[in-house]
């Protein structure tokens, strides 16, 4: 192949705009390239060819419908505390607790018996832990979580894996502090405290579930949609573009029809010509899906009329009807209704367990995860870019110095094992041999100690930088998807179960509907060049 044929050197620059049609194209921006803003990119874990995708499914909450998280958390916390106080006898003073949203991020684990909240890396190592809002020391963490393998049993631990669940963790931490400050509680035996902590968590969970179940929270949201739901102006165009490319769309949500109708109407009604209502964007709409059991059980898929009344069970593949309303069901029944095999389906959701994990385990659907917090994470990453680059330089330097130190240690071992007749010592006279050996060993010791001091200094600077970086993301927990140098447990789950991930559905508008999303090449440690 000639050098001019090298693909890496191929020039695709447009011709000089000398002709009228070329001038027109240049005025439209020809010669540039569409590079989405980093906060609006789609990130790829596994290759995804959109030209192979025929059907795209969506969750609703935190997927199509993004929430004003601070407002929703405050509302959820207030409703939960009200039910704890009114129905379960908790003290009125809890209403005065200042809600601090920084106390929780997704991916945390609640130790309900000990009153702790912890963050783990992908290996289950607990690098950060709080009792209430008090940080546990390294010694305390090791005693509780390192002397034996931490098994996350539902009877003792709870995952914080959705944005809806964040207020639960925040309230748990704050009320643990409230209890611990009570002298009567402080005087209890350890097992009594454990029972109280566990009961506290159960009461928080039951109270917030009740607030959702009786629609206390939903009534407030429906009465003031603009305050609680993010109105993404690009969402209707994104769905339209998928449909225009020949993709069929479906909605799969655990919400009931009434709430789904209210939210989707707010987001989609009267936004684009050609769509009479929000339902006309979708071929099939499934409400009350009961995920994750939707992927694991065989509940019947029921047809609904426009008023939400059940018309009967849907059998096999039926002629498509735009905006078909369904209830319940299971993944196999939905595949049959759509009339295609599952590897042609892309499902977009936000729940790592109910959407991503179960979809991967129970079907061959491809998956895309919406991580609403990702935009803020990427903005913070940009602010600490210099510290991150400096950290990489220090890591490479440390690796090099450690290699040199190991070599010097080997030289020292060789010097100590040299025999009198070693040919390497023939360069000196018999009488000075011992002195030469001693001087060489002394020089090696001095140089080795200097390198050790450099490594300690480097470690101190790396610790300082890592602390600065983590504080920039969240003063309690650091970045969402990382735990020090490792992926966090949540970050690893995203990598394992989401083919692609992004911050909002409308980010797909930045890409062609037949885009081939290519994952970066994986590198094992031995493949990396230091």
DSSP string, 109-178: EEETTTTEEEEEBTT--EEEEEETTEEPPHHHHHHHHTSS-----TTTEEEE-SGGGHHHHHHHHHHHHH
Angle formed at CA 83 by CA 81 and CA 85, multiple of 5 degrees: 70
Helix 433-473 with 374-383: angle, nearest 10 deg: 130
CA-nearest of 171, 164, 253 to 212 is: 164
pLDDT for the residue numbered 443:
86
Cβ atoms of 161 and 154 within 8 Å: the answer is: no
Q: Give dist(CA 118, CA 468) in Å, integer.
A: 20
Residue partners of 179: CB distance under 8 A and separation at least 6: 115, 185, 196, 197, 200
pLDDT for the residue numbered 358:
86
Cβ atoms of 365 and 356 within 8 Å: the answer is: no
CA-nearest of 460, 475, 469 to 384 is: 469
Strands 157-160 and 108-111: antiparallel
DSSP track, 205-268: HHHHHHHHHTTHHHHHHHHTHHHHEE--TTHHHHHHHHHHTT-EEEEE-SS-HHHHHHHHHHHH
Strands 108-111 and 366-370: unpaired
Q: Give dist(CA 198, CA 202) in Å, integer.
A: 6
State the residue for tokens 């002195």.
435
CA distances from 102 to 43, 158, 371, 528 (A): 26, 19, 17, 36
DSSP code at position 355? I
pLDDT for the residue numbered 65:
97
Tell me if residue 527 falls in helix, strand or coil: helix
Q: Is the dihedral of CA 425, 428, 430, 432 positive or negative?
A: negative
CA distances from 467 to 47, 461, 478 (A): 34, 10, 8
Q: Give dist(CA 408, CA 227) in Å, integer.
A: 65
DSSP track, 21-87: HHHHHHHTTTT------GGGPPEESS-EEGGG--EEEE-TBTTTBEE-HHHHHHHHHHHHHHHHHHH
The pTM score is 0.88
Helix 190-213 with 166-180: angle, nearest 10 deg: 140
CA-nearest of 373, 379, 396 to 503 is: 373
Cβ atoms of 178 and 134 within 8 Å: the answer is: no
pLDDT for the residue numbered 252:
97
State the residue for tokens 């629609």.
215
Tell me if residue 350 falls in helix, strand or coil: coil
Tell me if residue 349 falls in helix, strand or coil: strand
pLDDT for the residue numbered 291:
93
- What are the structure tokens assigned to 279, written together? 């339902």
Q: How many of the other CB atoms lie within 10 Å of CB of 247?
A: 19
Q: Is the dihedral of CA 88, 90, 96, 99 positive or negative?
A: negative
Cβ atoms of 474 and 105 within 8 Å: the answer is: yes
Q: Give dist(CA 517, CA 530) in Å, integer.
A: 28
pLDDT for the residue numbered 415:
75
Residue partners of 468: CB distance under 8 A and separation at least 6: 384, 387
pLDDT block averages, 10 residues each, the chain of length 530: 57 72 70 78 96 96 97 96 95 94 96 95 91 95 76 82 95 96 90 94 96 94 96 96 95 96 96 94 96 92 89 74 91 88 90 88 91 96 93 92 88 71 56 75 87 93 92 94 91 94 96 92 75
Cβ atoms of 54 and 518 within 8 Å: the answer is: no
Residue partners of 425: CB distance under 8 A and separation at least 6: 418, 433, 436, 437
């Amino acid at each position: 192949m000639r050098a001019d044929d090298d693909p890496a050197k191929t020039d695709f620059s447009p011709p000089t705009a000398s002709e009228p049609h070329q001038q027109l194209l240049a005025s439209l921006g020809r010669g540039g390239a569409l590079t989405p803003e980093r906060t609006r990119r789609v990130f790829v874990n596994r290759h995804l060819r959109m030209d192979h995708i025929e059907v795209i499914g969506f969750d609703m909450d935190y997927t199509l419908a993004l929430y004003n998280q601070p407002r929703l958390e405050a509302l959820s916390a207030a409703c939960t505390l009200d039910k704890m106080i009114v129905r379960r006898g908790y003290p009125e003073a809890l209403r005065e607790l200042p809600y601090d949203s920084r106390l929780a991020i997704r991916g945390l684990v609640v130790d309900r018996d000990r009153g702790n909240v912890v963050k783990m890396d992908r290996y289950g190592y607990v690098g950060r832990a709080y009792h209430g809002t008090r940080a546990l020391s390294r010694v305390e963490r090791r005693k509780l979580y390192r002397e034996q393998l931490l098994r996350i049993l539902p009877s003792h631990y709870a995952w914080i894996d959705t944005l809806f669940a964040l207020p639960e963790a925040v309230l748990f931490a704050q009320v643990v502090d409230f209890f611990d400050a009570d002298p009567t509680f402080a005087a209890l035996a350890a097992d009594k405290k454990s029972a109280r902590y566990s009961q506290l968590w159960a009461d928080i969970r039951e109270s917030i579930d009740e607030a959702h179940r009786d629609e206390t929270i939903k009534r407030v949201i429906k009465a003031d949609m603009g305050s609680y739901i993010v109105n993404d102006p690009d969402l209707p165009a994104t769905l339209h573009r998928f449909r225009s490319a020949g993709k069929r769309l479906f909605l799969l949500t655990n919400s009931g029809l009434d709430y789904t109708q209210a939210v989707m109407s707010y987001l989609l009604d009267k936004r684009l010509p050609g769509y009479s209502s929000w339902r006309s964007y979708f071929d099939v709409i499934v409400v009350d899906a009961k995920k994750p059991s939707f992927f694991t059980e065989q509940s019947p898929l029921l047809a609904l009329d426009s008023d939400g009344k059940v018309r009967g069970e849907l059998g096999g593949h039926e002629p498509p009807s735009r905006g078909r309303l369904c209830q319940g069901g299971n993944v196999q029944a939905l595949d049959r209704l759509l009339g295609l095999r599952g590897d042609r389906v892309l499902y977009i959701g936000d729940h790592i367990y109910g959407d991503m994990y179960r979809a991967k385990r129970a079907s061959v659907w491809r998956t895309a995860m919406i991580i609403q917090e990702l935009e803020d994470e990427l903005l913070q990453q940009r602010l600490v870019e210099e510290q991150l680059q400096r950290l990489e330089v220090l890591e490479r330097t440390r690796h090099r110095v450690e290699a040199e130190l190991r070599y010097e240690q080997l030289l020292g071992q060789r010097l100590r094992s040299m025999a009198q007749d070693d040919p390497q010592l023939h360069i000196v006279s018999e009488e000075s041999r011992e002195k030469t050996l001693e001087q060489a060993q002394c020089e090696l010791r001095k140089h080795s100690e200097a390198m050790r001091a450099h490594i300690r200094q480097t470690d101190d600077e790396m610790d300082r930088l890592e602390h600065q970086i983590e504080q920039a993301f969240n003063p309690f927990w650091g970045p969402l998807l990382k735990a020090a140098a490792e992926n966090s447990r949540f970050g690893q789950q995203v990598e394992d179960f989401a083919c692609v991930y992004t911050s909002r559905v409308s980010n797909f508008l930045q890409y062609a509907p037949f885009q081939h999303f290519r994952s970066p090449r994986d590198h094992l440690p031995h493949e990396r060049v230091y």
